[in-house]
């Protein structure tokens, strides 16, 4: 139950890049991006969005012993901003979030609220190829929750908003069954092949590992057994194995 989670997270990250107030500073699973190091500096040097997959659960049980269902997956989108992320206006010498917007608590909240709206718009953009791939991996949005935190530590003011989306995700492909070109993961792999490998060499290794996990060639019996978690004795009892069959 992991390949779809990986694809969901990557698609969400790529769908948001360049489409919100944080620009390309969309992070994959940087949960502690607002944490301070011992010298008081932050891990992220500018406003950010961090995307990560959290809990997942099945509400209607499994099919026999199958673990290919993805069920409901919690996707978290955390947007954060802090005083070290501010800049100085060259004209007014005023500390601002961006030109013309002073670095006040109210404007921190404005920045985060607007960023959250931009996240929603980016994920629903039919002209955004990564958002379309994201939608293909999701059969529905089941729940949406918003929360916020703020604080002032050693003179560093910070604020963050979190959007938690609970989505119903498509099932994992069965190991050894070739993916059809129209399968959401097949389309995801094709997009990664086209976009990532030129600018993110490490992603090529990750995608290769994902593909290897579902590679192989099943006969119909093996495919059915893997899909439903059936052992050979059960397959015999269900008259699924041919006469004289030995594994």
Q: Convert the pLDDT of each residue in 74-95 to its tens digit.
A: 999 999 998 888 888 888 888 8
Helix (H, G, I), strand (E, B) or coil at 110: helix
Q: How confident is the model at residue 161 (pLDDT cuts 50, 70, 90)?
A: very high
The average confidence (pLDDT) of the chain is 83
Domains delineated in the chain = 3-172 (3.30.2000)
Q: What is the number of helices (H) and of strands (E) in the chain?
A: 7, 8
Contact 47, 81 (CB under 8 A): yes
Report the pLDDT value the prediction gives residue 130, as an integer from 0 to 100.
97
- CB < 8 Å & 24+ apart, contacts of 187-190: 187/133, 187/136, 188/7, 188/10, 188/11, 188/133, 188/136, 188/137
pTM exceeding 0.75: yes
Bridge partners of residue 158, in order along the sequence:
82, 151
Report the pLDDT value the prediction gives residue 215, as an integer from 0 to 100.
83
């Amino acid at each position: 139950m992991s390949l779809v989670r990986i694809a969901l997270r990557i698609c969400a990250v790529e769908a948001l890049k360049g489409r919100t107030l944080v620009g390309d500073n969309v992070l994959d699973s940087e949960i502690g991006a607002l944490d301070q190091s011992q010298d008081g500096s932050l891990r992220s040097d500018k406003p950010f969005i961090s995307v990560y997959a959290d809990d997942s659960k099945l509400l209607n049980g499994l099919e026999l012993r199958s673990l290919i269902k993805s069920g409901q997956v919690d996707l978290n989108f955390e947007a954060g901003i802090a005083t070290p992320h501010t800049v100085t206006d060259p004209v007014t010498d005023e500390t601002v979030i961006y030109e013309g917007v002073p670095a006040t608590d109210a404007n921190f909240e404005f920045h985060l609220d607007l960023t959250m709206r931009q996240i929603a718009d980016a994920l629903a953009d039919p002209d955004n190829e990564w958002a379309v791939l994201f939608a293909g991996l999701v059969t529905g949005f089941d729940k949406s929750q918003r929360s916020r935190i703020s604080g002032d530590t050693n003179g560093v003011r910070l604020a963050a908003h979190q959007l938690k989306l609970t989505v119903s995700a498509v099932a994992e492909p069965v190991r050894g069954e070739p993916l059809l070109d129209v399968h959401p993961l097949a389309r995801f792999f094709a997009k990664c092949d086209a976009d990532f490998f030129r600018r993110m060499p490490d992603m090529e290794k990750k995608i290769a590992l994902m593909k290897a996990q579902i590679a192989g060639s099943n006969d119909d019996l093996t495919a059915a057994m893997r899909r439903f978690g059936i052992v050979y004795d059960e397959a015999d009892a269900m008259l699924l194995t041919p006469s004289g069959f030995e594994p």
